[in-house]
Amino acid sequence: MNLFDYTRADTLGAAVGAEGALLAGGTNLLDLMKIGVATPSRLVDVTRLPLSQIEDHGGGLRIGAMVRNADLARHPQVLARFPAVAEALLSGASAQLRNAATTGGNVMQSTRCSYFMDPLSPCNRREPGTGCSAIGGETRNHAILGWTSGCIATHPSDLCVALAAFDAVVEIAGPAGTREVPMATFHPLPDANGVPPALAAGEVITHIRLPDPGGMARHARYVKLRERTSFAFAIVSAAAGIAVQDNRIVAARLALGGVAARPWRSTGAEAALLGQPPIETNFARAAELALQGAAPSGNNAAKIVLARRIAVRALTLAAAGTPDRMPALPASVFEGDDHG
């Protein structure tokens, strides 16, 4: 690990515009520093910023960037209004990491692959213009949507997939003022030379805002396929929600994970479901639309098939309703508790 200076920002004003890498839970940044991938000359500790509240917001929620993942996953209003968000959180990492990781840090974790993690391999994400070592390399778990010759890595977050599906907005403060960006487009897609940063210099994520989920509150699920049941990134995943009246879908949400450099929200698939009965035939059609334009970035054509299947499964489970008790995954929010 390189030598670095350390400072603490006790107010948002002190954090905005501060020179250096922001340190919250540190579950991603410190790992990258230990292996020499991240080499900041200064760390700015933001753990004392007053951004640790979860507040009601017009039927939805406003979540501070410093809210710990474990607290967010167990919050009563998250369980009641956004169960897929809780399920996504508990599908990722370990209990120890969730106790440290923050909402803002989860959103800002690096999109990466094994080549990004190797300082000796050329990588456009680490050093723009040096090339993408993954092209022609080991690509089994790489992107199938939105990729270019500049980068074929996928974003690793489970939480961001659920946030993107349910219209979350990222609130940002910076030297030039405040701005808001939809979660579905917050992470830039790569160009031929790499990927532009999601935040401008000196900007800080302050909150994540989720609007009222309406009739989808108890018809939402997050489904994840991974190589091992314990701590592992998704091969593919899906967050889905629907609302049904008179056996017709009146609202639908669908986002895929593990397929691109950002959570892949499919408004075309959602629109195709409106007015249709909640049956597997229609879910399969929506899944086809969600994967429209998908192409292997290497030896990973199987991911296209897997992504279609996981989308159908997530929609089917959402249609069945969020269960009160269900051992969905180890440490599932549904396991052993009654949240009905």
Q: Is domain 54-106+157-210 annotated with CATH 3.10.20.30? A: no
Decide if pLDDT at 87 tops 90.
yes
pLDDT at 333 over 80: no
Confidence of residue 157 (pLDDT cuts 50, 70, 90): very high
C-alpha R_g of the chain: 19
pLDDT of residue 130 exceeding 90, the answer is yes
Q: What is the pLDDT of residues 24-81, one digit of tens each?
A: 999 989 999 999 999 999 999 999 999 999 999 999 999 999 999 999 999 999 999 9
pLDDT at 329 over 70: no
Provide the residue type at 203 as one letter. E
pLDDT (mean) for 240-268: 98
Residue ranges per structural domain of the chain: 54-106+157-210, 217-320
pLDDT at 228 over 70: yes
65 backbone dihedrals φ, ψ, rounded to 5°: -65, -20
pLDDT for the residue numbered 335: 47
Please give the single-letter amino acid code of residue 85.
V
Locate all alpha helices (DSSP H) within the chain, ordered by sequence: 12-15, 29-34, 69-74, 76-81, 83-90, 95-100, 103-108, 159-165, 183-186, 267-273, 280-290, 302-320
How many CB atoms lie under 10 A from the CB of residue 149?
Answer: 14
pLDDT digits (tens, 9 = 90+) for 235-249: 999 999 999 999 999
- Given a cut of 70, whether residue 290 has pLDDT beyond it is yes
* pLDDT grade for 331, boundaries at 50, 70 and 90: very low
- Cα 320–Cα 322–Cα 327 angle in degrees, nearest 5: 105
Q: What is the mean pLDDT of the chain?
A: 92
Helix/strand/coil for 313: helix
Average pLDDT of span 193-202: 89
Same topology for domains 54-106+157-210 and 217-320, yes or no? no
* Closest CA relative to residue 52, chosen from 40, 37, 67: 67
pLDDT band at 230 (very low <50, low <70, confident <90, very high): low
Tell how strand 248-257 and strand 264-265 pair up: antiparallel
pLDDT at 86: 94
Tokens coding 58: 């017009």
Average pLDDT over every residue of 83-97: 89
Nearest residue to 270 (alpha-carbon basis) of 257, 247, 246, 287: 287
The pLDDT of residue 327: 47
Least confident interval from 50-59, 70-79, 88-97, 110-119: 88-97
The CATH number assigned to the domain with range 217-320 reads: 3.30.390.50
pLDDT of residue 325: 60
Tell me which residue has tokens 């167990």: 74
